[in-house]
Structure 1
Amino acid sequence: MANTFDFIIVGGGTAGCRLANKLANAASRPSVLIVEAGGQPEGDTLRAPFHRYTPAFTRPDLDHGHVSIPEKELNGRTIQYTRGKGLGGSSILNFAVYLWGSQEDYNRWAELVGDDSWKWEHVKKAYQDIENFDYLGSNQYSDLARPDPKEHGHDGMVKVCLPPVLEKGVIPVMEALANHGETMTLDFNTGNPIGVGVFPSTYSVEGRTTSATAHLVNLPDNLTIWTDAAVHKLVMEGTKVVGIETADGRTATSGKDVIICGGAIDTPKILLLNGIGPANELESLGIKVVKDLPGVGKRLHDHIMTFLACEVDATENDRYAFETSESMILEADVLWKKDRTGTFALHHSTLWGGFLKIPGLEEFPEYKALDKGVQEFLARDTVPTYEFISHCLLFPPGTVLPAGSTYLTAVAFLMNAQSEGSVTLRSADPEDKLEINMGYLKHPYDRRVLKEAIRETWTKVFDNPELKKRIKGRIYGPESLSDDDILAFMKDATGTVWHANGTAKMGKKGDPFACVDSDFKVFGIDGLRVADLSICPLTTNNHTQATAYLVGQMAAEKLIAEYKL
């Protein structure tokens, strides 16, 4: 029985690698197998801060290639739903922001699933265990960022960092916002993200940290990895999962549990292909129903955003001059490869922004129409309505600016979207593309709040009295800040932040759309758990890389305790 393991983890992504490491290093040293559809990511653009945005748009070999159906509220546009393929999963391709979210996200999570272990005081300890937080760079700009070392982890495997130097142009814009009433948040990762400040990221002096570079080094002999091994089939005995079979015919047997960590798009695909999901959908495709779980593939939630960009004088920052100079880029590449220094270590190393409430939200009719429990959650002091960031990439990419100009880009994000989408099979053939309906802007609350978030972001950044005189013109944004112009812009410009979640929702027994319990066990199926963002009962108010690490950590803690590992 060479291919028998205590635990089989399907998906070597952000949560899966964390979970595998924690299980394999438990005191009893259980045998663990990771089965990953992709390979070992390699390439020159995967580590340097300058390439923060590059892999997501230039490495289709590291992407599962998901595309949504035409979205009704987005003028029929489809959404390229990039998901990392390879060890490390989407931590290979994401934009590296590392934020915990609001403490009330986790208190609400605990309420929704009926398990106090998801409350903030426990989650905070889990986050501290995950991270190795280097905050020393902020000593150079302590009026803008000043984390308390006692509140953070310093022995974890995921390297989290504040930039050692802020890029040219950042401080004047941040100070302009502070001078006009914005409160500086010196540490976003305290449970209260409300305010404006510098975002920590999963970059360090060595470059990008992925879940694989953090957790799959110095492998213990009880941890096995199979790559290029897509899993479509769960091996079952009745309603018990006892193993897996890969697309290329490899098989493995589990002594304890198979844990699916495929993410919010691919996890429901695996469940549905194996007869776990809405019975009527499965029967219509000729798939034998093993367990009728109506919530599988439903309740898809996401954060959405729009880019906003203006042309500014070249003295404001060095971005455009550098990015359009082949010789400067070649020189920087040499320095980075030599000793991890130079412009590749600086440019795009800084993202800053804010998590804010929209004044008067409680008076919006779209808010008043929400479920009372949702209203109460959104009204909590540390729950933001929207997020904005500044000093992002040039948008649209490839924009050509005149000599003497550079760019300033902001992004407006909707938090706590109420619209729901779905992930469904088109056929019983695992090679067929999924039908992905993101459902963006279907809900009136989302349309109202994103409209207000765009207006607020544009006003704070581009119409700030200290900054407006330095703006040369609009590159990308609404024609004006009128309701009609913003709404028209939203249909053309709204896109994803790739924070999909909820398609195998965690919840209480009896919840008609719950798929797993608070210990990650799939309802009605023995030997099977899910541990990735598909289980989230709400969308946390952050960039959800951190939430994925948390899910892997919490799953490990639950399994270690249950099996006395």
Structure 2
Amino acid sequence: MAEAAPDADTFDYVIVGSGAAGSVLANRLSADPGVTVCVLEAGPPDRNPFIHIPAGFIKTLADPGVTWQFKTEPLPMTGGRRISTVQGRTLGGSSSVNGMIYNRGQPADLDNWAQRGNRGWGYADCLPYYRRSENRIGPSDASRGRNEDGIPITDMDWINPISEAFIQGCVGLGIPRARDYNCGDQAGVGYFQRAIRKGRRVSAAVAFLKPALSRPNLEVRTNARASRILFEGKRAVGIAYLNAPGAAPQQVRARREVILSAGTVNTARLLQVSGVGPAELLGRLGVPVVHELRGVGSNFRDHYASRFVMRAKKGVETLNELARGLRLGAQIARWALGKPSILATAPSHVHVFWKSFEGLDVPDLQCVFTPGSYAEGKVYVLDDYPGVTAGAWQHRPESHGWVRARSANVFEDPEINPNYLSDSMDVRVHLGGMRLLRRMLGTPELGRFLEVETLPGPEVQTDDELLDFAKRNGSTTYHLIGTARMGPETDPTTVVSDRLLVHGMQGLRVVDASIMPGMPSANTYATTLMIAEKAADFIRGREAAAPEAAAAA
């Protein structure tokens, strides 16, 4: 039975979400003048000035006007805390509020996806799509993209002497200085690459969506919160959406496909409240079952990080001092003149991809270093003394949880349970990461800058004490994946095929980080862009890009 009103707007494709994936899809699909595309974004336009100033993430992450202020369930392994798991809710989605880091991860991540039965998702298959989505500005080899309509990826240009000392200290520990961690060989230490150009954040909306807005076949509707997928039998035919709580529902129809690019939390929730998911959950929600898929909302994973803080010696200049008073004024002036400044840096400056224990073949940890520190228990409030921060998390956590709608009301936040550190191997690797942090912060090269560890403090030494600290102080890295996992239909934990079509349905596709079968050994942004580029070829019926061997990178 058709649910849409006779006068409902109709497009060929309706995309839910304008984040990394939605923005890429909007651009690539609307490049065909023979089709029409509608993008529904739950948040407002990206006019907030703090979105476009890289350092403005401190403001936007706490702003419910442009973010989903999600929180996890209180868990024993987080000391009973509810951890803030903020996601973007504006044009560009999380790419408008994230840390701007570009990180592809290890080739083995994608080869593992292919080994799970996902044809065409090995590293060689996906490399052309990484290249297509990227405009590398700076030194690179053939594995990097220089596509002018891709996301611009630049090198760090504001360098603090403490960061360089940290790198030299790591080299002294036997960690090599990385040439380019995005070229397939990740191991080593160096400065992050980021989506910043001329001192401004370049979100997916800026890079992909806005250049396409002049096309007459593309329409973007903001403040349009998808409330339900409309079905005719097993076929998705449109989306019902709301402009505000209690507002009259509106509808938009899709001739060809409804594409969910709402993010790992909202994609799972939207499927569930629309009748696609575990029958038991749908029954509790009072939602009629359109199609039972047990995997919807399951397989949820995230990177869980612990961070150490050290006080710098008197007179040492860190971000803490530069972000206040006259020094901040000087940094603002430098930014306005287009010079390197703290306003145009990513939150994390230095990367370390290394091993939790000697003898491993490849890194199983990502570590970050920043020449600044935040007050304990405060959300992005800088310490009142000079300090530095280093954090570590496991590349591929085995701990996994779920996302479940609490009700059919999409203005009520869903239940988010990541089950951090519930797997014994995750605990082992996490402890190894924390001990590595101490080694890296304790090098002679850093000794002339740093004074004492303030968090967790030198009294915390045993595994039990370190794990207790991790429970009480660890946090998300906002790398949410897996709730609409890709895999063969014979696997009851999967939701979409290797063409990203929802199992058992017609005209319904998922294109975002929720489809990832496993966690990349990286931040998730770069891989989400790649997924969307690959999906655009699927949808347009174009032949897949020819595989490129890693050796050719």
TM-score, with length taken from structure 1: 0.88
Deviation, 1:120, is 0.9
Deviation, 1:523, is 0.6
**1:226 aligned partner:** 221
Deviation, 1:471, is 2.4
Of 140, 157, 163, which residue of structure 2 is paired with 1:148?
A: 140
* Partner Cα separation in structure 2 for residue 237 and residue 318 of structure 1: 59
**1:391 aligned partner:** 370
Deviation, 1:89, is 0.3
Change (3 A) 1:272 1:321: same
Change (3 A) 1:78 1:2: closer
**2:132 aligned partner:** 129
Contact 2:19 2:93 in 1 (8 A): yes
1:28-67 residue CA offsets vs partner (Å, 9 max, x unmatched): 541111000011122332223433x414433221111211
Contact 1:7 1:259 in 2 (8 A): yes
**1:524 aligned partner:** 504
* Partner Cα separation in structure 2 for residue 291 and residue 183 of structure 1: 51
- Which stretch shifts more, 431-440 or 228-237? 431-440
- Structure 1 or 2: more helix by fraction: 1
Give, as a single letter, the amino acid of the residue that structure 1 aligns with 2:38. Answer: L
* Partner Cα separation in structure 1 for residue 128 and residue 470 of structure 2: 39
**1:535 aligned partner:** 515
**1:70 aligned partner:** 74
**1:427 aligned partner:** 407
* Partner Cα separation in structure 1 for residue 265 and residue 421 of structure 2: 19
Contact 1:130 1:553 in 2 (8 A): yes
**2:480 aligned partner:** 500
Contact 1:516 1:523 in 2 (8 A): yes
* Partner Cα separation in structure 2 for residue 501 and residue 196 of structure 1: 26
3-state secondary structure, aligned to 1:169: helix
TM-score, with length taken from structure 2: 0.90
Deviation, 1:285, is 2.5
**For the aligned residues, what is the CA RMSD?**
2.1
Aligned-pair identity in percent equals 27
1:370-423 residue CA offsets vs partner (Å, 9 max, x unmatched): xxxxxxxxx7x44x2111111164123445445xxx212111112111111111
**1:481 aligned partner:** 461
1:306-355 residue CA offsets vs partner (Å, 9 max, x unmatched): 11110112554342221232x3323433553x443363455557711211
**1:160 aligned partner:** 153
Of 172, 192, 195, which residue of structure 2 is paired with 1:202?
A: 195
Give, as a single letter, the amino acid of the residue that structure 2 aligns with 1:124. Answer: L
Gaps of 5+ in 1: 136-146, 362-378
Gaps of 5+ in 2: 1-6, 244-248, 545-553
Contact 1:392 1:411 in 2 (8 A): no
Of 102, 108, 111, which residue of structure 2 is paired with 1:104?
A: 108
Contact 1:308 1:395 in 2 (8 A): no
**2:351 aligned partner:** 353
1:153-208 residue CA offsets vs partner (Å, 9 max, x unmatched): 11242011002342332222211221231111110011221111211011111411
1:475-502 residue CA offsets vs partner (Å, 9 max, x unmatched): 2225333212211111111110010100
* Partner Cα separation in structure 2 for residue 353 and residue 360 of structure 1: 19
**2:89 aligned partner:** 85
3-state secondary structure, aligned to 1:193: coil
Change (3 A) 1:30 1:310: same
**1:371 aligned partner:** none
Give, as a single letter, the amino acid of the residue that structure 1 aligns with 2:293. Answer: L
* Partner Cα separation in structure 2 for residue 547 and residue 177 of structure 1: 27
**1:171 aligned partner:** 164
* Partner Cα separation in structure 2 for residue 349 and residue 469 of structure 1: 24
Of 22, 38, 44, which residue of structure 2 is paired with 1:39?
A: 44
Of 16, 23, 33, which residue of structure 1 is paired with 2:22?
A: 16
Q: Report the count of equivalent residues.
A: 525
Verify: 1:240 aligned to 2:221, yes or no.
no
Change (3 A) 1:124 1:157: same
Contact 1:243 1:258 in 2 (8 A): yes
Change (3 A) 1:392 1:320: closer
Change (3 A) 1:562 1:44: closer
Change (3 A) 1:57 1:64: closer
3-state secondary structure, aligned to 1:258: strand
* Partner Cα separation in structure 2 for residue 268 and residue 292 of structure 1: 13
**2:3 aligned partner:** none
Verify: 1:550 aligned to 2:530, yes or no.
yes
Q: How does 1:304-453 map to 2 (within 5 A)?
A: 304-325=304-325, 327-336=326-335, 338-341=336-339, 343-345=341-343, 348=346, 351-360=349-358, 381-382=361-362, 384-391=363-370, 393-396=372-375, 397-398=380-381, 400-402=383-385, 406-453=386-433
List 4+ stretches of structure 1 deviating above 6 A.
none
Deviation, 1:560, is 1.5
* Partner Cα separation in structure 1 for residue 227 and residue 372 of structure 2: 37
3-state secondary structure, aligned to 1:161: strand
* Partner Cα separation in structure 2 for residue 347 and residue 166 of structure 1: 9
* Partner Cα separation in structure 2 for residue 294 and residue 55 of structure 1: 38
Contact 1:56 1:94 in 2 (8 A): no
3-state secondary structure, aligned to 1:46: helix
3-state secondary structure, aligned to 2:161: coil
* Partner Cα separation in structure 2 for residue 445 and residue 109 of structure 1: 21
* Partner Cα separation in structure 2 for residue 508 and residue 167 of structure 1: 48
Contact 2:35 2:217 in 1 (8 A): yes
Change (3 A) 1:563 1:181: closer
Contact 1:264 1:533 in 2 (8 A): yes
Change (3 A) 1:44 1:313: farther
